[in-house]
A and B are shown apart, each in its own frame.
Chain A
Amino acid sequence: MAITRDAIAPELTATIAREEARQRSFGRQLRRYGPIVIGALMALAMIVVAAAAPLLAPLSPSAQFGDAVLKGPGSIARHVLGTDEFGRDLLSRVIWGARVSLEVGLISVVFGFVIGVPLGILAGVQRGRTETAIMRCADMLMAFPTLLLALIIVAALGGSLVNEMLAIGVALMPNFVRLARSLALTIREQDYILAARALGGGQLRVMARHVFPNALYALVVVATLYIATAIRTEAGLSFLGLGVPPPTPTWGNILSEGRQYIKCCPWLTTFSGLAIMLAVLAFNLVGDALRDLLDPRLRGE
């Protein structure tokens, strides 16, 4: 007769079963996957709104309605969120504003990623002087907080969509350099890298075909968090009047223009700011949750 665990310790089996049930329980699943689902849905909603802005916006974001200047939400049926000082429809402007935020958010992160990651991998794999040179430069840029660096660059180039992407991309780049390097440092010690080299793989091949794919997952997770940073930075620049210039609606410049009217018309600043917060929150949620799933030790960092 085979000795089963039940025979020895029935209560242990019961405990294990209870634990497994707890793991499977709805509450547990919700705690684990809730944030990422909510964040992903919010981010997806934002992408849909930005992509379909011409279809979703009830009115043109630049159309001025002389009969509806600074009207509150709901006071005129045509303007659900009210109007600004030129009689432009706030809802339509906020919807179109999603475009700028998302474009800058995504493209500047891609830009920082595309420049930063190869440099970081090069530094981590090559070591020596190359590493010193790259890391010194990255450290120098890191000394500047993102917004400050982006502010200097955008001040130099002038406020426009492309310049903003460039400025935020450059400001984010050193983060990618650092992370890619630290990942490359671990990966280069792995056996499969040794194998790749033994098979005659050159430095470039090792970096592109072996180090990069193995670092990609972690890099993409962190990139999600930087989208949130980029969107917040964009909003900040726009708010300071250094971003995409009006009349193109951005959440930052709607908020900045609405600031003069907070006495009479707080809805202008309330809704544009709410949009910024929800967008940043969405990408923070997704990035956070992804990182928790990837590496529980990094939780809350």
Chain B
Amino acid sequence: MVQYLLRRLLVAVPMLLGAMTLVFFAMRVLPGDPCVAMMGDQATSEALSDCTKNLGLNRPLAVQYADYLWRSARFDFGKSFRHGYPVSEYIGRMFPYTLVLVLASAVVAAVVGIPIGILSALKRRNPLIDYPLRIFALLGLSMPVFWLGILLLIAFSLRFDLFPLIGGGDLDGVMAMIRSGEAFSQPADFLRAVGDVLHHLVLPAFALGFTLAATVSRLSRSAMLEVISQDYIRTARAKGHDERAVVYKHALRNMMVPLLTIIGLFVAIALTGTVLTETVFTRPGLGKMLVDAITARDYPLAQGAITVFTMIIIAVNVVVDMLYAVVDPRITYR
């Protein structure tokens, strides 16, 4: 097991390296100078060359690359060109926003998607149930999250004024209150701040969650179909168990393995979804940070964001692989 874990991590290293290399060179081949992007077209040539020197962009590309890799290995992604403060700090501040969004949308997607998937697998012979469910899945799969987001904003923020139009609430403040212990000394303030964060979270989480629910329902549907066609299900039925026991005791438990695969896929899809969701809801977070950094040619920030994205995806995949062995003792790792 430990050996397997080590090997998985070793495989993850070239993956991460590949991703980082891709990002590094991608950011540099593009036309457009970060200094010009920062200082505008009117900047004098001295100012520009000063800026280039300060950012270390006048060094040979190979040196910049080696420097970048070496620093990244120590979680030092440099300083944001635009904001001046360290990228890791920036990422640390944005991460909680994205995390709560992914978690909240995961809850929505699971609560909506998994029962729908299972139901549509079990009732696939009944067109009155199967058909609407399949249409729902197709609609969710085809609906771009940014459009759904805008529709929700038009309906619930503008028309009924139930939810805020932009922002993510003061999650920074909530985190600070937890760290300082204020959360316990002044629970009323803390709860109000948490409530505000949740208030900002409802629409984005629903938009992202709904589009993901379609994917989740399809995946859990096919997982259920696979399990239900196994011999042990037939055996259970043949033994005379009623359908409920078959589903809960035999099918659902064996769905854990495919379900884990779903979770692994889900994190990757959800993280990408945050890029669009955070942009449409003008919500702080890693995804919006990445898009802003790319638009502003803020190399270190964009590199840092993508490196973190890749790390999360790889880490989740490794963890999911490990969990397979936990939920299904037949799977062992050599």
User: Which A residues form the contact surface with B (CB < 8 A)?
Assistant: 31, 139-140, 143-148, 151-153, 155-158, 228, 232, 235-236, 239-242, 255, 259, 262-263, 266, 269-270, 273-274, 276-278, 280-281, 284-285, 288, 299-301
Contact = CB atoms under 8 A, between A and B. Distances in A.
Interface in B116-153: 120-121, 127, 131, 134, 137-139, 141-144, 146-147, 150-151, 153
B153 A262 contact: yes
Contacts of B150: 255, 259, 262, 269, 273
B269 A156 contact: no
Given A140-B18, A255-B146, A155 B275 contact: no
16 contacts: A143-B317, A144-B19, A144-B310, A155-B27, A155-B294, A236-B276, A239-B280, A240-B291, A255-B150, A262-B150, A263-B158, A269-B147, A299-B222, A300-B120, A300-B121, A301-B218
B314 A284 contact: no
B61 interface: no
A157 B30 contact: yes
B138 A242 contact: no
B313 A143 contact: yes
B322 interface: no
Given A143-B314, A301-B218, A148 B272 contact: yes
Nearest to A145: B272
A79 to B, nearest CB: 20
A238 B121 CA distance: 36
A299 B225 contact: yes
Contacts of A156: 25-27, 29-30
A155 to B, nearest CB: 4
B120 A262 contact: no
Interface string B218-253: 100110010000000000000000000000000000
Interface in B7-55: 14-15, 18-19, 22-23, 25-27, 29-32
A28 to B, nearest CB: 10
Interface of A is mostly: helix
A18 B288 CA distance: 59
- Name, among A139, A145, A263, A280, the residue most crowded by chain B CB atoms within 10 Å (CB to CB): A145
B147 A276 contact: yes
B295 interface: yes
B174 interface: no
A144 to B, nearest CB: 7
Given A156-B25, A157-B30, A300-B221, 20 more contacts: A31-B127, A139-B15, A140-B18, A143-B268, A143-B313, A144-B19, A145-B268, A146-B272, A148-B272, A152-B23, A155-B294, A236-B144, A236-B146, A236-B276, A273-B151, A276-B147, A277-B144, A281-B142, A284-B142, A299-B225
B276 to A, nearest CB: 6
A277 B22 CA distance: 32
Nearest to B155: A266
B202 interface: no
A270 B151 contact: yes
B302 interface: yes
